[in-house]
Structure 1
């Protein structure tokens, strides 16, 4: 009887490991980098930026209306990174549009998702975002409060909105022709 019980436990343990392995295999869209920033509103919306990559490096900038101001780094756990990836997949990030900005008086958001060879931007206003991605962003916005952050002098971010600059579109080449000089 005891052997049957132990055998059942071993089999269940092996099945659980196989399920986790299959889950990792199914999730082929593993992110390389997730960048997210908010740029305030007409109220007290935070100016912050968070960038996390697959090496588990977490960068944070806290500006106006955040609990911590300045530049910080941290290491997140593999569990945190996996949770973020799963949340993004459940939010169906591939089907998201690039722009959600029908309103102007709520929190501005700029984000970039890099997976494989693809870099997908998403710009918008908080209340114009679909509920599924907005809840992921809320979760991400609070993540810095639960981490052991180390203050640093400065960091570079892919996003710009956290500094009050708004999303910066790619540069366009403008041909300039000087006016003719009439003498």
Structure 2
């Protein structure tokens, strides 16, 4: 009986790691844009994360992280006539996933005198279908970098992934990590 419990624990651990999904990072950019010509950046007056008409904490976290990353790339922040305008948006949605898997049956061949030998005397292995319903949140965040003069999107970074309890409890750190990772995919630094 102990070996069958151990087998179930090993199977559960395998399925848990097989179903773990890391965030999906995607970027796109305008190949005709001359990123070396841009020197300054600023933020749009109305940001996508401020739908309620005021600056939210999420907006402040995005602004701080984005400003840090843009300045690391050599851009200078300005509120007057920037070369680039930055906007961002974030959303979450509830998802439900139904998982099915075959597990060894604890029924036929497991009872009576020879029960300790598992299904050794069964003519074929028996399996049951287990159904598990998992509810979780998926978050999506995107950062747009727009050529201010031409009013054209020149770079977009997008990330989508499962929101963990840790991320929801500490959104500043989660946003900081996402923005940092997105900007590792930015095409070039200012003036280079």
Q: Identify the TM-score tier after normalising by the shorter chain.
A: under 0.3
Structure number with bigger Rg:
2
Taking structure 2 as the reference length, the TM-score comes to: 0.27
Greater strand content: 2
